[in-house]
Chains A and B, each alone.
Chain A
Amino acid sequence: MKNQFKGKFGQFGGQFIPEVLMPAHKELEAAYEQWKNDPRFIKELDYYRRDFAGRPSPLYYARRLSKKYGHKVYLKREDLIHGGAHKLNNTLGQALLAKYMGKRRLIAETGAGQHGVATAIVGANMGMTTQIYMGVKDMERQRMNVYRMELLGAKVIPVTSGSQTLKDAINEAMRDWVTNVEDTHYLIGSVVGAHPFPSIVRDFQSVIGIETEAQIIEQEGRLPDSIIACTGGGSNAIGIFYPFIDNTEIDLFAVEAGGMGMQSTKTAALHSASLCVGEDGILHGARTKILQDPYGQILESCSVSAGLDYSGVGPQLAYLAQIKRIKPRTASDKETLAAFHELSEIEGIIPALESAHALAYLAKAADKGELGEIVVINLSGRGDKDLESVLKLEGNK
């Protein structure tokens, strides 16, 4: 299942991008092939991962959560990684690669702000000029992350086009890259976009799954029965799933944002569940599952968490869903908020709203018998960034 034709995952993936970006993608692909197994690159990345990011992240046996749901629940603590989320795994890898390629400038898009912060962190650390594109709507929802990025020396550029969220930030970042392709690396934040991005980001994120495999064997003497991860673009999901893909005894649950309901209006979906109900199409350089109208216009997506609020999904996840290797599910805004409170109260961990979708699915599925005995949940980020929006939401009750 892993060794597909280069750049394609079954019918999904590929390179649907303006010609002006093709040489940059080819250059990136060649550089990645050149450096990914180079001992000097690996050594330097290991140094950053261990001493700067704080890896390996713990695999924590959540006793009270386990007791409540009658499963052995382990949380992969990506919330403890520097920056507060799994996003740094990818930005460290890509920024280092960009540096090896001789690029001086990083650009990135951000939704929740987590990827923007993770990019600003590596930009500052590695001495690269950094500009972050962010939808105005997301800037309002995530003011603290905007300030964080600015503190770290990055310039945050407000995106006012379209729905003013993640997909428009990606559009703007692509436009910037088209213009400045010679000295700039576009540090894409998820397993989306044209080849080679989905594969590069997956490889850098699969450190999560590789650690999980060793840790669960050490603690339980065996592999888990199921793994749950939230899925927007899908980088934390594929990151933890990837090493387990060939082991079909392990059920992999990709939990998408069910938002306010599974319906759509003429121009917008009330959810962000592209794996569950999206249709085959092309968005941001790849063929994948997307939320679209009957003519192929992209629908705006909706979620309580900015990080899952995206109309597409990584092409490899679309493929894995199609061949039924992963199980796409949803958790609604309401279920997610309940899980956000629950983990805070019974484990003393405030999860990111994104990660709370994965936790919500545990609550939904615990009695259905589909999770098995040992469950690993990817706790992809911490929730400090969400406090303001949760307060606002619940103040309006």
Chain B
Amino acid sequence: MRIADKFNELNRRDEGAMIAYVCAGDGDTPGIVHTLVNAGADIVELGLPFSDPVAEGPTIQASIQRALDNGMNTDRYFAMVKDLDVNIPLLVMTYYNLIFKRGLKKFTADCRDSGITGIIVPDLSMEESGELEECCIDNEIDLIYLVTPVTKGERLDSIVSRSSGFIYLVSRLGVTGARDDVAVSTKELINRVKTDIPKAVGFGISSREQAVEIRKGGADGIIVGSALVDIIGSGHDVTNRLDALVRQIKSGLK
């Protein structure tokens, strides 16, 4: 499913999107994805683990390491995604070297063939993304750009103009990781980004209260990663706790 179709559907119901991140290969990924979707996740970002994930905080770093230790690699990733039976947009989040090494054409074709409709690359700047953007267009895949509290002026405008699917608003300076509050910079950023493309806020979101506040601030969706990964990492009552957290957060977006 394309990302735009999902946001259109949610708009009609006046709901915000709950976007869930988990790292492929950490735990029973197909089971985890079904749990997330059944609990109400609207989009799933499935991390393809990279050995040197500079944008991640300790929680997701640890998850990535477990996935690599479990033998996850790009071939297994696409095979696993292909077998997932879910009717929501699936996105891949990974670092540029894994895409580069496979070849941009092959990687994006593999995405298309396995049902992935969006790519997020936290270490790929606008300056270097031209080639991947073309390959994405050829394969009907959205390349999701990130903007941050320090992205301003003309730079912000050009990123917004090149975005498709949704724009990923990094809520604060720093790496990924669950936090309790919503930074002032988050609301400012939501206001600063002027576009018709949906805006989704990520980095540090772990509760219903934050979801409500961000939705009220004008965002079209939120991205939850570390809070879910924490549960997976604990190995304790994973399915029930994931289900409960996703339902709780999603209830704040309706």
Contact = CB atoms under 8 A, between A and B. Distances in A.
A19 B145 contact: yes
Contact of B174 (A179, A280, A290, A297): A179
B125 A17 contact: yes
Contact of A22 (B65, B95, B125): B125
B137 interface: no
B237 interface: no
Interface string B93-117: 0011111111000000000000000
A284 B147 CA distance: 20
A22 B151 contact: yes
Nearest to A175: B175
A168 B65 CA distance: 13
Interface string B40-75: 000000000011111101100100010010000111
Interface residues of B, number: 42
A219 interface: no
A184 to B, nearest CB: 11
B180 interface: no
A283 B125 CA distance: 14
A15 B61 CA distance: 22
Contacts of A348: none
Contacts, number: 116
A21 to B, nearest CB: 8
Contacts of A181: 150, 173
Nearest to B129: A16
A142 to B, nearest CB: 22
Contacts of A180: 173
Interface in B186-207: none
A295 B73 contact: yes
B228 interface: no
Contacts of B100: 280-282, 287, 296
A281 B123 CA distance: 13
B183 to A, nearest CB: 12
Nearest to A296: B101
Given A281-B97, A296-B102, A298-B97, A20 B170 contact: yes
B57 A19 contact: no
Given A171-B54, A297-B50, A161 B61 contact: yes
Interface string A8-24: 00000011111110111
Contact of A175 (B50, B57, B128, B147): B57
Given A18-B123, A162-B65, A171-B54, 12 more contacts: A15-B125, A18-B54, A19-B122, A19-B126, A19-B151, A20-B170, A23-B151, A162-B51, A178-B55, A180-B173, A284-B52, A297-B73
25 contacts: A15-B125, A15-B127, A16-B123, A16-B128, A17-B125, A18-B122, A18-B125, A22-B151, A161-B65, A171-B52, A171-B54, A178-B173, A179-B173, A182-B150, A280-B100, A282-B96, A282-B100, A283-B97, A290-B97, A296-B50, A296-B74, A296-B97, A296-B100, A297-B51, A297-B73
Interface of B: 50-55, 57-58, 61, 65, 68, 73-75, 95-102, 122-128, 145-148, 150-152, 155, 159, 170, 173-175
Interface of A: 14-20, 22-24, 161-162, 167-168, 171, 174-175, 178-182, 279-285, 287, 290, 292, 294-298
